[in-house]
Chain A
Amino acid sequence: MYGHATMTTSITPPNPASARRPAEWRDLIALTKPRVMSLVIFTGLCGLIAAPVRIHPVLAFTAILCIAIGAGGAAALNQWWEADLDAGMKRTAKRPLPQGRLDRTTARDFALVLCSGSVFLMGFAIGWLPAAILAVSIVYYSVIYTIWLKPRTPQNIVIGGGAGAFPPLIGWVAATGEITLMPVVLFAIIFMWTPPHFWALALFVKSDYAKVGIPMMPVVAGEKATRRQILIYSALLLPLTMTPWWIGGTGLVYGVSAFVLSALFLALSVRVGLRTRGEEDTMKPEKQLFAYSVIYLFALFAALVLDRFIVI
């Protein structure tokens, strides 16, 4: 059923209005999801700065640029594939493809140029190991998550969350040239953070996902199970964020910050996890958890970078 919903994306005729008009460059930029990209750039930059090896500023800039372009390309591929689903959801209906301001072929070609360009530039300028990880992250997001998992399983976010966890790993490997325990832990932190972050959102936009047949956890397993899962992942996140300090990869600045930030995250999750939805519910705790989860990740990685410069 969900597979069919996705299949229809490839056979929808192009919008005649968009066929006449060339694509606006602003719409092409919008395809790359610039707001999501800011978090990707930030975590990638933090991974690069937190690494114990200094890298030439031009090469550091290039590595981050490649991560950003790769993420933008993957986001554009995601929107190309899901144009019909996006049209059916209030949150995404105003994107360029559902509105017919772009034709699908342009979007797909633009996405492929960004993806391949970012991988080759990373390979030639920085190294082929970070380039390979970047390529894996693009395929992971656009094929494994968008095409395969998202329309088929309520665990889509859990496994697909790995796609967003790659940037600090790529940033670290771009600086050091090798994969060690610390960047893997950073990967694991974002991996573990993604389910409660997305499920908090899915709880208050549940009807949107249900309408287009995306099997998000609240749609398939119900709200109660989703709230319990949010609680479990948030509880696991606290010790995981402390791991960089426990293994000696960071100092006290990060250790204390991670504990305070994660404890607050857990407190907000407990509030969401233990409540039941009443009638005329505005879902305020869920919205607060979602908003805090974004601030949380920024603050946690900022603490990681600060820790490199402030020694207590």
Chain B
Amino acid sequence: MDEEKPDTPEPRSIEQIRKDRNRVLGLGLAAFVVLVFFISIAKMG
């Protein structure tokens, strides 16, 4: 479909999309771990 519209911007490669998504997922999981740590501290206090 994109080949029919040469004036549209070059679509990002699947690898690039996956890489970005994994990076966001990794950051999200790391943030979740940090949040659970601080929740535990707050609830103990």
Contact = CB atoms under 8 A, between A and B. Distances in A.
A57 B24 CA distance: 25
Contact of A58 (B11, B14, B42): B42
A56 interface: yes
Contact of B14 (A21, A25, A59): A21
Interface in A20-41: 20-25
B5 interface: no
B41 interface: yes
B42 A24 contact: no
Counting contact residues on chain A (CB < 8 A from B), the size range is 10 to 19
Instruction: Classify the secondary structure of A's interface with B.
Output: helix
A237 to B, nearest CB: 37
Interface in B1-45: 1, 11-12, 14, 17-18, 20-21, 24-25, 35, 38-39, 41-43, 45
Interface string A6-28: 00000000000100111111000
Contacts of B41: 58
Instruction: Classify the secondary structure of B's interface with A.
Output: helix
Contacts of B35: 58, 62, 65
B21 A22 contact: yes
A24 B38 CA distance: 30
Given A17-B1, A25-B24, A56-B45, A125 B17 contact: no
A25 B21 contact: yes
A111 to B, nearest CB: 16
A106 to B, nearest CB: 11
A24 B39 contact: no
A59 B39 contact: yes
Contacts of A24: 12, 17, 20-21
B38 to A, nearest CB: 5
Contact of B18 (A17, A22, A62, A65): A22
Contacts of A56: 42, 45
B21 A58 contact: no
26 contacts: A17-B1, A20-B14, A21-B11, A21-B14, A21-B17, A22-B14, A22-B17, A22-B18, A24-B12, A24-B17, A24-B21, A25-B20, A25-B21, A25-B25, A56-B42, A56-B45, A58-B35, A58-B38, A58-B39, A59-B42, A59-B43, A62-B35, A62-B39, A65-B35, A125-B39, A125-B43
